[in-house]
Amino acid sequence: MKFIFPALKKFMKRDVQPVASNQNSISFKEVFRTIDENISFFKQTFSDSADLKIKEFNERNNRGILVFLDTMADKDKIQRDIIKPIMEAAGTQFENVLHSVFLKSNNLIKAQEALLNGSCIIFLDGIKELYMVEVGLSKDRSIIEPSNEQVIQGSHEGFIENLSTNLHLIRKSFRTVNLTMEHITLGDQIQSKIAMVYMKDLANKEMISEFKRRIHHISMDHLPGTGALQELIEDSTWSPFPQILSTERVDRVVSHLNEGRVAVLMEGYPSCLIIPVTFFAFFHSPDDYNSRWMIGTFIRVMRLVSILIAINLPAIYIAVIGFHFEVLPDDLVLPVVSSIKNIPFPPLIEALVMELTIELIREAGVRLPSRIGQTIGIVGGLVIGDAVVRAGLISNTMIVVVAITAIAAYSIPTTEMSDAVRFLRFPHMILASTFGFVGISFGFMFTLAHLCRLESFGTAYFAPWAPFRLKDIKDTFIRLPLWKFNTRPHDSKPNILKKQSLARGWDSNEKKQE
């Protein structure tokens, strides 16, 4: 064994060495004098790919070529904005016949990147310059409401996979000169476009610098998506709790931008990341602000209560059956005893089997087509549940506990937080089966201490409770009237704390006149 571990350690060190990227090693290559040499360069670069198209034309008796990728460029735009004007030109300058915006360059590497982004490259024989014309193919889906963040009242616009469209939606909803957008490119082999959006007068500069520092230290061949980006820049990857809020709703992003936070979007993905955030931000919904404040507060309290139910209810059932039967009221003792007396499994195994079955049904319902998924839910909820009870494998009480737990977990409006809550109930069940109520108390205290210790880009994750700040509680587990929101939350560290002077000024003026 003493010879195996040094060899393994040496192999792991060798495996994690960064590989040099050929694409980034060359950033400039001058355009060749002849067209044939330029054609050979692109054919060799793209390995004679089938979607690489090279078309010839004559411009004032000079030979020219068009180079574009059939899968990225729009042929109608090429015909309308390039070929047709060239054919109709009569002795005019070549630049004057182009109706599209074009860019001159003498760098073939830059032209290569433009081809991948949907541009058409134009070469003229004998001229050591090229023209890049934007003729990208657009195949975007329509703007609809996100299926996983639906609301009863409010906007029904959601982000799509096109970055420019997403930025347009934000700018349209946030028409102010203080809105700043910055573009960042990540990826050594396959580059991904990222946009950072924030309010210049509100966002904390130190937090923006910290985000840029983390982004620029990412070195990967390809960034799979916003989920991978979130994992690479968050403070603690070992925590089950998400420290960055992911949303597809435009109105939710605009609300967070107005509080001094930063939005991060990525080309090809409809999700937007919000930083920094706190624990309570994952339980907010646009419906909370579109309804009466008392109703919004009641719903928020119900969501937070659902966390305790989703995490602790199966554990409490196990602890009561295994250790603390005396806590049950006298009227419940006989029904519970008659329900579990013929069950061959201990409470922990009973609970694990049912909870894992619920998770399997949920996963099957998500992966299957919508019509089949609904059928799976009905079969799992009715047929299997009734069958296991009749077979004497699971008690009726356990079925009720699992059903309430599932409903409580799915009432959380954010998917990432719902996943974390559903995951935490399993260690709590193990603690309850070992130590009873003491184990549940220990698990709850450990989770609470972990929440108090977490940070999101320098912001306390469990604020405004740890550290405690009374003024910021107005929009956490409760939602006071909007005219009480005179200041922005301190957790985002905005440059301007004042949010509004006097929202109900008309009411004050009337009282003064009286």
pLDDT tens for 213-265 read 999 888 888 888 898 999 999 999 999 999 999 999 999 999 999 999 999 99
Distance from the Cα of residue 493 to its chain's centroid:
22
Asked if residue 118 and residue 47 are part of one domain, the reply reads yes
Residues 426 and 423: their CA atoms lie apart, in Å, by 6
Tell me the H-state helices in 141-189: 163-173
Q: Choose the final residue of a domain: 254, 277, 300.
A: 277
Q: Assign residue 41 a region: left if phi > 0, alpha if psi is -120 to 50, beta otherwise?
A: alpha
Number of CB atoms found within 10 A of residue 401's CB: 21
Q: What pLDDT sits at residue 89?
A: 64
- Asked if residue 339 and residue 209 are part of one domain, the reply reads no
100-106 LR contacts (CB < 8 Å, sep 24+): 100/133, 100/134, 100/135, 101/133, 101/134, 102/131, 102/132, 102/133, 102/134, 103/131, 103/132, 104/129, 104/130, 104/131, 104/132, 105/31, 105/129, 105/130, 105/132, 106/30, 106/31, 106/130
Same domain, 124 and 191: no
Last residue of a domain, one of 435, 460, 485: 460
Q: What is the pLDDT of residue 98?
A: 55
Structure tokens at 63: 């030979």
Q: Is 369 exposed, middle or buried (0-12, 13-18, 19+ CB in 10 A)?
A: exposed
Strand (E) or helix (H) holding 196:
strand 192-199
Whether residue 315 contacts residue 429, with contact meaning beta carbons closer than 8 Å, is answered with yes
Q: Are residues 326 and 249 in the same domain?
A: no
What's the confidence (pLDDT) of residue 12? 37
Pair (222, 297) in one structural domain: no
Report the pLDDT value the prediction gives residue 130, as an integer from 0 to 100: 86
Last residue of a domain, one of 277, 312, 329: 277
Pairwise CA distance, residues 19 & 220, whole Å: 10
Q: In what order do the strands lie in the sheet with 130-134?
A: 52-59, 62-69, 119-124, 130-134, 102-105
The burial class, CB within 10 Å (0-12 / 13-18 / 19+), for 265 is buried
Q: What is the pLDDT of residue 10?
A: 42
* 10-residue mean pLDDT series, the chain (514 residues): 39 39 59 87 87 81 84 87 73 55 80 88 83 82 84 87 90 89 87 91 92 90 88 92 94 92 93 93 89 91 92 93 86 83 86 87 77 68 75 84 90 90 93 93 94 92 90 88 86 84 65 56
Q: Which residues contact 413 (CB under 8 A, 6 or more apart)?
A: 149, 282, 283, 284, 285, 303
Q: Residue 378, SS3?
A: helix
pLDDT of residue 472: 87
Alpha helix positions (H), 16-89: 22-25, 35-45, 75-78, 84-88
In a domain, 70, yes or no: yes
Q: What is the pLDDT of residue 503?
A: 66
Q: Is residue 362 part of a domain?
A: yes
**Two tokens at 238?**
């070992």
Task: List C-alpha distances in Å: 45 to 131, 190, 283, 512.
Answer: 19, 15, 50, 77
SS3 state at 491: helix
48 lies in which domain range?
A: 22-134
- Encoded tokens for 85: 């004007």
3-state secondary structure of 22: helix
**248 and 379 part of one domain:** no
Q: Hey, how many other C-beta atoms are within 10 angstroms of the C-beta on 237?
A: 10
Letter string b/e over residues 15-34, b meaning 16 or more CB atoms within 10 A of that residue's CB? eeeeeeeebeeeeeeebeee
For residue 217, what are its two tokens?
């230290």
Please tell me whether residues 435 and 353 are part of one structural domain. Answer: yes
- DSSP 8-state symbol, 138: -
Assess whether 229 and 179 both reside in one domain. yes
Same-domain status, 226 and 108: no
**Do the domain assignments include residue 4?**
no
- Taking CB atoms within 8 Å and a gap of at least 24, the contacts of 57-60 are 57/83, 57/86, 57/87, 59/86, 59/89, 59/94, 59/124, 60/91, 60/94
Rounded to the nearest angstrom, the gap between the alpha carbon of residue 213 and the centroid of all alpha carbons in its chain is 20
In-domain check, residue 373: yes
Contact in structure between 283 and 300 (CB atoms under 8 Å): yes
Helix residue spans in 93-203 (DSSP H) = 108-116, 163-173
- For residue 419, being part of any structural domain is answered with yes
Hey, which residues does 264 pair with through a beta bridge? 196, 273
Ramachandran angles phi, psi of 426, nearest 5°: -70, -50
Q: Is 46 helix (H, G, I), strand (E, B) or coil?
A: coil
Total count of domains within the chain: 3
Domain match, 336 and 395 both: yes
| Residue 17 belongs to some domain of the structure | no
Same domain as 114, residue 168: no
User: What pLDDT score was predicted for residue 393?
Assistant: 83
Residue 2 falls inside a structural domain? no
Query: Cα–Cα distance between 125 and 61 in angstroms, integer?
Result: 10
Show the tokens assigned to 65: 């070529």
pTM of the model: 0.81
Q: Are residues 303 and 405 in the same domain?
A: yes
Tokens of 426: 């399993």
In a domain, 150, yes or no: no
